[in-house]
Amino acid sequence: MLEAYLKTHRNISQAHRNALEAGRNTLDARWNAVQSHRNILDAYRMALQAYRNALQTHRNALEALNNALYTRMNALKGHRNVFQACKIALDASKYNLRAHRNILQAHRKTFEARSCCV
């Protein structure tokens, strides 16, 4: 009878040790799950930060493109102004040439008038 009691007690003690070990394993598994979850959250945070950085880079690229377009537009306006100035200068040259031609004709007529009177 004592032997049966001791055997039963040993079995209960072993079952208790097994339950404690299972509890420790459960706690370890929970801790590992928490750590895995933290790692996943960290990876998610890093991915979000990378996405934010990519969006900012894209915004910067769009801003640079916009600035380049404005620069090009202003350069085209500048070229147009230069072409208009050249056109005005050419028109002025035409009027200047006409004036010189008229002066030369007046000189010729004056010379002819003097020649015929001499």
Question: Average pLDDT in the 13-36 region?
Answer: 96
Threshold 0.85, pTM exceeds: no
Which residue pairs, CB below 8 angstroms and at least 24 apart, start in 33-40? none
Residue 118: band (very low, low, confident or very high) from pLDDT cuts 50, 70, 90: low
Separation between Cα atoms, residue 62 and residue 49, nearest integer Å: 20
Q: What are 26-81's pLDDT values in tens digits?
A: 999 999 999 999 999 999 999 999 999 999 999 999 999 999 999 999 999 999 99
